[in-house]
């Protein structure tokens, strides 16, 4: 049997953490892009477009992420797409993230006074111009803190990709545990690495939130 | 390539599915009660406890909020036995869900407490209530009423998150999906049915609890209360309790 020193374990976990970071980034960037499109649909003047996004958000927020991962993993091949756990995880997390971001950002857009839309309209702007030049810059300021806060949830949710066989931090922890039989220090370390990734984000989100509050009082 | 969906033969597993629903709801209910208590207790310490205890609560909250639930679950289920603490998978699931929900509940209830205007406390003190009474009868009920929707969505998040307890072989709804697809090889259909079940559960649960919240906290969410007896029996009891309070010891 191979002996694992604590350093071996820590090193392998840290190497695996790269994949957690990468998957989080893909989910966040992809989710941000899809989220923006959904946001535009959600606040559009067309009721049926809004309705689609409402249902989309309801489905992704009302079902377990684990089920979504399973459905993508077993469902995409039915469409003729050959999927690895990588692709299934990336696609699912992107869609999952987009649903939450669209919902968060919708709140921020709605926090901008309605009169701003009307003012834009009175200047002869189209819907997309109003959204792009008037509403979005103002909503963005409100949106930064909750978005950074949500990033923490994205990082944490990548842990579920381990279940469909994507080798990231949690999966590596399980694999090392199976070889080294020392679950307590290994899962402890896994948790610490997640904490090291998430806590700065949590802290930064809090700072941003405080700053936004100070801004409001002025 | 076309795929022929086949939902026949799922009737066989209706019992398994029903048990899965029961287990998922049961786990959620137990951890909601326990986690709610942790939340109220922790929030009380966080606003009024001694400094060291506040530190402990803050550390607990940050540790839980910044690590994934599945790692917490594995740590408890696989890690604790090596410390000589032996728990079965259901106990591990309940413990993990409680610990998880508790941390979020502390944050939420604390935000609720912070939202109560100073005037409420001063008014209570003017009526002769002492510290703990002010907290128990004036601050806490209003704080919980204010944040009830946030607590509710956290409970739903925990219920959906509980899908991973199937990984330590707790026979919940997800476990049923895994079991069914291992028998009939219809993975996509199995997961589709179970996902739909989760969706229905979360929609129904949200409706029910919203209604419950409206009943429990009718007229209690922080605004000026009227002197009229509330119509609802539960608030009526609380209202009478609040009125008779200063005279009791």
Task: Assess B167–A contact: CB distance below 8 Å, yes or no.
Answer: yes
- The superfamily CATH assigns to domain A6-217 is MetI-like (1.10.3720.10)
The owner of tokens 């299934």 is A88
pLDDT, averaged across chain B: 85
Q: Which of A64, A177, A195 sits opposite B174 (nearest CB)?
A: A64
Of B78, B166, B198, the CB nearest to A177: B78
Contacts of B238 (CB under 8 A, 6+ apart): B141, B220
Residue B222 has pLDDT above 90, yes or no: no
**CB < 8 Å from B in window 105-134 of A:** none
Question: Which of B63, B82, B163 is facing A195, going by the closest CB pair?
Answer: B63
Instruction: Give residue B1's pLDDT.
Output: 53
Q: What is the pLDDT of residue B187?
A: 86
DSSP-based three-state secondary structure for A67: helix
**Looking at the predicted structure, is the pLDDT value of residue B136 above 80?**
yes
A189: which 2 tokens? 């370390």
- Using the Cβ of A183 and the Cβ atoms of chain B, whether some distance falls under 8 Å is answered with yes
Q: Taking CB atoms and an 8 Å cutoff, what residues of chain B touch A68?
A: 195
What's the pLDDT at B212? Answer: 84
* Per-residue confidence (pLDDT) for residue B219, from 0 to 100: 60
Min Cα distance A156 → chain B (Å) is 5
Q: What percent of chain B has pLDDT over 90?
A: 53
Rounded distance, CA B222 to CA A154, Å?
Answer: 34
Alpha-carbon dihedral sign for residues B40, B43, B48, B52: positive
Beta carbon pairs, A and B, within 8 Å: 125
- Residue B159: closest CA among chain A residues belongs to which residue? A64
Q: Does B193 touch chain A (CB under 8 A)?
A: no
Nearest residue to A214 (alpha-carbon basis) of A149, A105, A206, A116: A206
pLDDT tens-digit series, residues B24-82:
999 999 999 999 999 999 999 998 889 999 999 999 999 999 999 999 999 999 988 88
Mean predicted confidence (pLDDT) in B188-194: 90
Q: What pLDDT does residue B211 have?
A: 87
Asked which of A206-215, B80-89, B195-204, B215-224 is least confident by mean pLDDT, the reply is B215-224
Predicted pLDDT of residue A173: 92
Cβ-nearest to A71 among B79, B192, B202: B192
Q: What domains, with CATH codes, occur in chain B?
A: 12-247 (1.10.3720.10)
Interval B163-177: pLDDT, tens: 999 999 899 999 988
Q: Is the pLDDT of residue B150 over 60?
A: yes
- Do B59 and A187 touch, CB atoms closer than 8 A? no
Residue B117 pLDDT > 60: yes
Q: How far apart are CA B74 and CA B96, in angstroms?
A: 9
- Partner B contacted by A195 (CB < 8 A): yes
Q: What percent of chain A has pLDDT over 90?
A: 71
Q: What is the pLDDT of residues A149-163, one digit of tens each?
A: 999 999 999 999 999
B18/chain A closest Cα distance in angstroms: 17
Spatial neighbors of B80 by CB under 8 A, at least 6 apart, are: A184, B86, B87, B92
Would an 8 Å CB–CB cutoff place B182 in contact with chain A? no
A160 touches chain B (CB under 8 A): yes
Do residues B202 and B54 touch, judged by C-beta distance below 8 A? no
Give residue-wise pLDDT tens across range A52-99.
999 999 999 999 999 999 999 998 888 888 888 899 999 999 999 999
- Determine the Cα–Cα distance for residues B211 and A138; give it in Å rounded to an integer: 35
Is a pLDDT exceeding 70 seen at residue B108?
Answer: yes
């Amino acid at each position: 049997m191979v002996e694992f020193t604590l350093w071996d374990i820590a090193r392998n976990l840290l190497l695996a953490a790269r994949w957690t970071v990468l998957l989080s980034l893909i989910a966040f960037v992809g989710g941000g892009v899809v989220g923006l499109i959904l946001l535009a649909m959600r606040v559009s003047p067309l009721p049926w477009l809004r309705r689609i996004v409402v249902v989309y958000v309801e489905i992704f927020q009302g079902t377990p992420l684990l089920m979504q991962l399973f459905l993508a993993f077993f469902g995409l091949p039915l469409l003729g797409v050959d999927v690895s756990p990588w692709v299934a995880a990336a696609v699912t997390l992107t869609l999952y993230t987009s649903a939450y971001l669209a919902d968060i950002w919708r709140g921020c857009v709605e926090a901008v006074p309605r009169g701003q839309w009307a003012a834009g309209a009175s200047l002869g702007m189209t819907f997309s111009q109003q959204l792009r030049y008037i509403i979005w810059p103002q909503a963005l300021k409100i949106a930064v803190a909750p978005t950074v806060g949500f990033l923490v949830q994205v990082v944490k949710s990548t842990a579920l990709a381990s279940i469909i066989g994507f080798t990231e931090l949690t999966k590596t922890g399980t694999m090392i545990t199976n070889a080294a039989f020392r679950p307590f220090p290994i899962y402890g370390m896994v948790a610490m690495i997640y904490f090291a990734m998430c806590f700065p984000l949590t802290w930064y989100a809090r700072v941003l939130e405080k700053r936004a509050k100070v801004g409001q009082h002025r | 390539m076309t795929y022929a969906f086949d939902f026949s033969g799922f009737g066989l597993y209706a019992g398994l599915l029903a048990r899965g629903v029961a287990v998922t709801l049961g786990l959620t209910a137990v951890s909601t009660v326990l986690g709610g208590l942790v939340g109220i207790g922790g929030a009380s310490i966080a606003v009024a406890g001694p400094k060291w205890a506040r530190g402990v609560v803050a550390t607990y909250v940050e540790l839980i909020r910044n690590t994934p639930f599945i790692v917490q679950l594995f740590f408890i289920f696989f890690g604790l036995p090596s410390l000589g603490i032996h728990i079965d998978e259901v106990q591990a699931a309940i413990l993990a869900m409680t610990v998880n929900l508790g941390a979020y509940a502390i944050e939420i209830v604390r935000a609720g407490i912070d939202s109560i205007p100073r005037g409420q406390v001063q008014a209570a003190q003017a009526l002769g209530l002492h510290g703990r009474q002010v907290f128990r009868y004036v601050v806490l009920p209003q704080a919980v009423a204010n944040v009830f929707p946030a607590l509710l969505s956290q409970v739903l998040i925990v219920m959906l998150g509980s899908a991973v307890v199937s990984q330590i072989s707790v026979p919940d709804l997800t476990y049923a999906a895994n079991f069914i697809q291992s028998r009939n090889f219809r993975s996509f259909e199995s997961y589709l049915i179970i996902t739909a079940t989760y969706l229905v559960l979360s929609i129904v649960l949200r409706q029910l609890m919203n209604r419950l919240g409206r009943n429990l906290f009718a007229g209690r969410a922080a605004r000026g209360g009227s002197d009229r007896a509330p119509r609802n029996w539960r608030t009526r009891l609380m209202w009478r309790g609040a009125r008779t309070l200063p005279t009791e010891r």
